[in-house]
C-alpha cells in the first residue's frame, strides 16, 4: 500500500508540475508579445505597420532601412555614450555611498543613525512627480545647472540611494557577522580596511542585484533626463528615440527600430553577465 501511495503521489506531482509549466509558458508568451511585435514591426514599412500591425512579414519582405535611418537620425553613438556615462557613474556612486552609509547605520546604535535610516526609508514613498517641478525650478532658475550631465548624475544618486540603503542595511544586519569585523580589528585593520576588505566583498550578491536594478532603471529612464537635458548633444538613448514623434504623425518604423537599438545593450550585458547575476542572487538567498 505504501508503494502504491508513493506512485500516486508521484503521478500527481508530475501532473501539477506539467500544469504549472503550461501556465507559466502562457504567461511568458503573453508577456513577450509586445516585445515580439516591436521586433517584427521594426522590419516593416510604416504603411504596413498601420494597416497590418500583426502581420509577421511585410509584403515586400524584410528591410533594415528603419534601422539605418534610426541609427543616423538618433545619432546613436553619441546618445549611447551619454547613456553609458550617466548610467555607469551613477551606479558606481550609488553602490559606493549606499554601502558605506548602510554599514555605518547598521553598526551604529546612536539615535541619529536610526533616525537617519527611518527618514531615508520614508523618502521612498514620496512620488517623484510631486517634487519634479520645484526641483527643476531650483536647479534651473536659481542655480542654472540644467543641461549638464553632472546634474543628472547627482540627481540619480539622490533618488537611488534610498532603495540601495534599504537593501544593503538588511543584508548587513542579517548576513555579515560582527565577529569577522572584530577579528579584523584585533588583527590591526583600520575601520575603512574592515569595510573594504571584509564587509564589502561579502556584499557581492546584494551589489549584483542592485547593479541590475539600477542599470535597468537609469538606462531606460525618460522623465528625469527629459527635464534636465534640453540639448540634443546631451540626449540619452530614450530621449533620442523621441525624435521620431512628430506633432501630427509618428514614424512608427523608426520608433520600433530605435526601441530595439535602445534595449540591445542591456540585453547584451545581461547575456554576458547572467551567470554572475544568477550565482550572486542564489548565494544571497542561501546566505540569508
pLDDT at residue 26 is higher than 70: yes
Report H helices in 76-128.
Answer: 76-107, 111-122
Residues 6+ apart with CB under 8 A from 155: 135, 224, 228
| Residue 248: band (very low, low, confident or very high) from pLDDT cuts 50, 70, 90 | low
Domain-by-domain residue ranges, the chain?
2-31, 66-287
- pTM of the model as a whole: 0.82
Query: In the predicted model, what is the mean pLDDT of residues 69-74?
Result: 88
As a whole number of angstroms, the distance between CA 48 and CA 59 comes to 8
Q: What is the mean pLDDT of residues 34-56?
A: 85
Per-residue confidence band for 130, with pLDDT thresholds at 50, 70 and 90: confident
The most confident of the ranges 49-53, 195-199, 247-251 is 195-199
pLDDT at 286: 46
Q: What is d(CA 127, CA 43) in angstroms, rounded to the nearest whole number?
A: 38
Kindly state the average pLDDT of the residues 122-134: 84
Between CA 282 and CA 208 the distance in angstroms is: 11
What mean pLDDT value characterizes the chain? 84
145 has pLDDT over 70: yes
| CATH code that applies to domain 66-287 | 1.10.3720.10
Amino acid at each position: 500500500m505504501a508503494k502504491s501511495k508513493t506512485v500516486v503521489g508521484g503521478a500527481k506531482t508530475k501532473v501539477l508540475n506539467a500544469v504549472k509549466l503550461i501556465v507559466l509558458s502562457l504567461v511568458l508568451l503573453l508577456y513577450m508579445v509586445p516585445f515580439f511585435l516591436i521586433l517584427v514591426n521594426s522590419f516593416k514599412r510604416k504603411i504596413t505597420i498601420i494597416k497590418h500591425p500583426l502581420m509577421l512579414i511585410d509584403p515586400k519582405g524584410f528591410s533594415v532601412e528603419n534601422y539605418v535611418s534610426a541609427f543616423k537620425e538618433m545619432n546613436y553613438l553619441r546618445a549611447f555614450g551619454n547613456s553609458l556615462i550617466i548610467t555607469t557613474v551613477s551606479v558606481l556612486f550609488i553602490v559606493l555611498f549606499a554601502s558605506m552609509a548602510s554599514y555605518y547605520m547598521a553598526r551604529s546604535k546612536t539615535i541619529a543613525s536610526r533616525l537617519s535610516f527611518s527618514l531615508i526609508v520614508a523618502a521612498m514613498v514620496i512620488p517623484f512627480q510631486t517634487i519634479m517641478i520645484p526641483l527643476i525650478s531650483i536647479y534651473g532658475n536659481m542655480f542654472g545647472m540644467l543641461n549638464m550631465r553632472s546634474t543628472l548624475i547627482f540627481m540619480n544618486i539622490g533618488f537611488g540611494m534610498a532603495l540601495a540603503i534599504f537593501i544593503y542595511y538588511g543584508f548587513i544586519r542579517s548576513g555579515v557577522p560582527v565577529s569577522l569585523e572584530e577579528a579584523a580589528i584585533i588583527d590591526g585593520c583600520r575601520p575603512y580596511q574592515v569595510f573594504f576588505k571584509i564587509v564589502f566583498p561579502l556584499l557581492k550578491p546584494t551589489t549584483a542585484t542592485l547593479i541590475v536594478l539600477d542599470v535597468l532603471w537609469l538606462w531606460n529612464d525618460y522623465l528625469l533626463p527629459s527635464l534636465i537635458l534640453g540639448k540634443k548633444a546631451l540626449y540619452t538613448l530614450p530621449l533620442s528615440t523621441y525624435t521620431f514623434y512628430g506633432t501630427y504623425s509618428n514614424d512608427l518604423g523608426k520608433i520600433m527600430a530605435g526601441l530595439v537599438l535602445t534595449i540591445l545593450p542591456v540585453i547584451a550585458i545581461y547575456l554576458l553577465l547572467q551567470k554572475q547575476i544568477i550565482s550572486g542572487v542564489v548565494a544571497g538567498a542561501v546566505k540569508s
